[in-house]
């Protein structure tokens, strides 16, 4: 079981901690606000009220054994930098830190963060992406150059097989899954639409109207598909 330490239980940190716990991960949640700790205590493996800037207190937790430490201390820039430094000196394997400005992110990288995230900015970009293209359900960056997109199948895709579309050859992207609404009869006899996911679709699988393709590729290549 992978172990995560989440330091800072604001809206972002608590959401990450809960989601990881729901996925079966062991989560240690830390915040200096006792009320925030109490709110999440029944969801995670450990919930601790302490000031993570206190090097001795943080070191005593044995976080060097964690697979990933996530620092999300919000607007407290100085605290986040100090915590990343402490975690780095402790030998934590991977440190992910939340930044609020580009300069903040640069400093976090320099002091030891393996990955820096900008939740508010990323969410804004995802919302803008979906608003600008109604056929784009969702978009997330998975690196500086690549992303993953949920695309409602454009008309030119309908009734074609994956082999006929040949997205890899034409657009240099990969369709890793297909979501489809399928009529299902409930126990009460009523019919409802339930979503089925076809993971790693076969060459002979065909695209229907209303299908949603999950596509991975570089940002530039994804834009070509998005514009169809």
Same domain, 111 and 156: no
Instruction: Of 139, 104, 107, 109, give the one whose Cα is nearest residue 124.
Output: 139
Same domain, 92 and 41: yes
CA distance 68 to 131: 33
CA distance 156 to 164: 11
Residues contacting 227, CB < 8 A, separation 6+: 133
Find tokens 């939740």 and name the residue. 119
CATH at 138? 3.30.70.1450
CA distance 137 to 133: 8
Q: What is the DSSP string of the chain?
A: --EEEEE--SHHHHHHHHHHHHTT-EEEEEES-HHHHHHHTTTSSEEEE--TT-HHHHHTTTGGG-SEEEE--TT-HHHHHHHHHHHHHHT-S-EEEE-SSHHHHHHHHHHT-SEEE-HHHHHHHHHHHHHH-TTEEEEEESSSSEEEEEEEPPGGGTT-BHHHH-HHHHHS-EEEEEEEEEEEE-TTS-EEEEEEEEES--TT-B--TT-EEEEEEEHHHHHHHHT-
Q: What is the biggest distance separating any 2 CA atoms in the chain, rounded to whole angstroms? A: 63
Please give the chain's pLDDT, 228 residues, in tens. 789 999 999 988 998 999 899 888 899 999 999 999 999 999 999 999 999 999 999 989 988 889 999 999 867 899 999 999 999 999 999 999 999 888 999 999 999 999 898 887 776 666 566 656 778 888 777 776 788 889 999 999 999 999 999 999 999 999 999 999 988 888 888 888 888 999 989 999 999 999 999 999 998 898 888 877
**Structural domain count of the chain:** 2
CATH at 100? 3.40.50.720
Q: Which domain holds residue 55?
A: 3-117
CA distance 128 to 90: 39
Same domain, 10 and 113: yes
Same domain, 79 and 139: no
Looking at 117, 142, 167, which one is the last position of a domain? 117
pLDDT confidence of residue 128:
64
Same domain, 101 and 161: no
Looking at 117, 152, 182, which one is the last position of a domain? 117
Sign of the CA dihedral with 123 first, then 226, 143, and 164 last: positive
Same domain, 196 and 104: no
Looking at 117, 134, 151, which one is the last position of a domain? 117
Same domain, 70 and 140: no
Whether the model clears a pTM of 0.85, i.e. scores above it, the answer is no
Which neighbouring-strand residues pair with 6?
29, 70
Same domain, 111 and 130: no
Same domain, 110 and 174: no
CA distance 146 to 200: 19
pLDDT confidence of residue 65:
87
Which neighbouring-strand residues pair with 216?
148, 174
Same domain, 189 and 215: yes
Same domain, 112 and 129: no
Same domain, 137 and 162: yes
């Amino acid at each position: 079981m992978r172990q995560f330490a989440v330091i800072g239980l604001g809206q972002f940190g608590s959401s990450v901690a809960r989601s990881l716990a729901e996925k079966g991960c062991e989560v240690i949640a830390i915040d200096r606000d006792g009320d925030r700790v109490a709110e999440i205590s029944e969801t995670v493996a450990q919930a601790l009220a302490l000031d993570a800037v206190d090097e001795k207190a943080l070191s005593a937790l044995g976080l060097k054994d964690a697979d990933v430490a996530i620092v999300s201390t919000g607007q407290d820039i100085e605290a986040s930098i100090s915590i990343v430094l402490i975690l780095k000196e402790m030998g934590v394997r991977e440190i992910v830190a939340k930044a609020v400005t580009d300069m903040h992110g640069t400093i976090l990288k320099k002091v030891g963060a393996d990955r820096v995230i900008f939740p508010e900015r990323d969410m804004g970009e995802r919302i803008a992406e979906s608003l600008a293209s109604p056929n784009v359900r969702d978009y997330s960056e998975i690196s500086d150059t690549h992303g993953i997109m949920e695309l409602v199948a454009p008309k030119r895709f309908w009734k074609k097989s994956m082999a006929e579309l040949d997205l890899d050859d034409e657009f240099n992207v990969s369709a890793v899954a297909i979501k489809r609404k399928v009529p299902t009869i409930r126990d009460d006899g009523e019919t409802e639409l339930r979503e089925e996911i076809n993971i790693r679709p076969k060459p002979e699988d065909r695209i229907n109207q209303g299908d949603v393709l999950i596509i991975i590729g570089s940002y530039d290549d994804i834009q070509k598909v998005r514009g169809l």
